[in-house]
Amino acid sequence: MNPLPPSTTVIHRLSRRQLIQYGSICMGSSLLAACTNNNQPTNSSSQLDKISFGTNWYAQAEHGGFYQAIATGIYQKHGLDVTIKMGGPQVPSGTQLLVGGAVDFFMGYGIDAINAIAQKIPKITVAAIFQKDPQCLISHPNTATKTLADLKGKPIYISAAANVTYWPVLKVKYGFTDDQKRPYNFNPAPFLADKTSAQQGYITSEPYAIAKQGGFKPTVFLLADYGYTTYATTIETKKELVEKNPDLVQRFVDASIKGWYSYLENPQPGNQLIKKENPEMTDDQLAYGIQKLQEYGIITSGTAAQQGIGAMSEERWKALYDSMVTAGIYKPNVNYKDAFTLQFVNKGIDYYKSA
């Protein structure tokens, strides 16, 4: 069993931030600094490059590879002393944190990256850990609701952020209308009380909670399988860092991807850190999250199946941009190619699994 980091692990506290991605994803309450264990190099931390990485919610399986890279010493082997700034409620956006210098890298998503370009914000996506966004819609088990299209006309609990992410796509593609919308406050009680309704969620989280609270297995529709093509759990940074220190960016991307391969093979080291940072996280929830990440091909499907975790393609970014233009989210004159770079990814599975 890999040990937890020693007692010299540095834990800090953050003050405040605001809700972002999908209306639920936000920054949070504590920081976890990378440190040494018995399997790590003997380099002192003063010889390592210190960087900070902001996640989009409380520590969970969806962040496992990053915690794994700390727990197993992968970051340190790449010359990095990484501090994870864990997410949580009521904190400023990842874009604000990046531009303001509070973090060096942030866990983002594709739609927001293109939106930043439209607003002339100098950030860029350097890797996409999730090939599929785990965002889903959840309904009560009903023989009349077999596909996503069957939710047309039914009340659906969605967050405010859905209005500028997946909801316009559903309106264009499936004829959903705004009068279906109900405010979602990240509490399943209204959904559980109305058997005709649906609600948003993460494939790795909310279905598990609903099954436990409601006593039934809900019907789940992963939006990525219905034309919602955004990348998720991306690694973002400022364009200035890419231009001035590409070696640092490359090492962080490589080490993070290797952390994800390690986590999918044996998640125990990363899970120990996750539970330490988020004491409410249970072994059952972690196991469920990992199972769904693998079952739905969230991480290793598509381009990543050949070119490695974190892979991206220009074609995929263009498809995302085009779908958002059709949905009326973007104007057709946004230079979406400025939202990403393929410089640091697509190196092949063997590259990332090598020592």
DSSP string, 246-313: HHHHHHHHHHHHHHHHHHHH--HHHHHHHHHH-TT--HHHHHHHHHHHHHTTTTTSTTHHHH-TB---
pLDDT of residue 43: 52
pLDDT of residue 94: 83
Q: How far apart are CA 348 and CA 120, in angstroms?
A: 32
Domains of the chain: 49-130+230-353 (3.40.190.10), 135-226 (3.40.190.10)
Residue 254 corresponds to which amino acid? D
pLDDT of residue 91: 61
* 205 to 67, 134, 243, 260: CA distances (angstroms): 18, 9, 37, 19
Q: How far apart are CA 232 and CA 254, in angstroms?
A: 17
Q: Is 186 helix (H, G, I), strand (E, B) or coil?
A: coil
Rg (CA), the chain: 20
Q: How far apart are CA 152 and CA 291, in angstroms?
A: 29
Q: How many CA atoms lie within 13 A of 236 on its CB side?
A: 33
Closest by CA to 122, choosing from 228, 236, 34, is: 236
Question: Which residues in the chain land under pLDDT 70?
Answer: 1-46, 89-92, 355
**pTM summary value:** 0.87
Residues ≥6 apart with Cβ < 8 Å to 157: 182, 183, 184, 190, 191, 197, 198, 199, 200
Q: How far apart are CA 43 and CA 78, in angstroms?
A: 11
pLDDT of residue 20: 34
The tens digit of pLDDT for each residue in 153-179 reads 999 999 998 998 999 999 999 999 999
Residue 141 corresponds to which amino acid? P
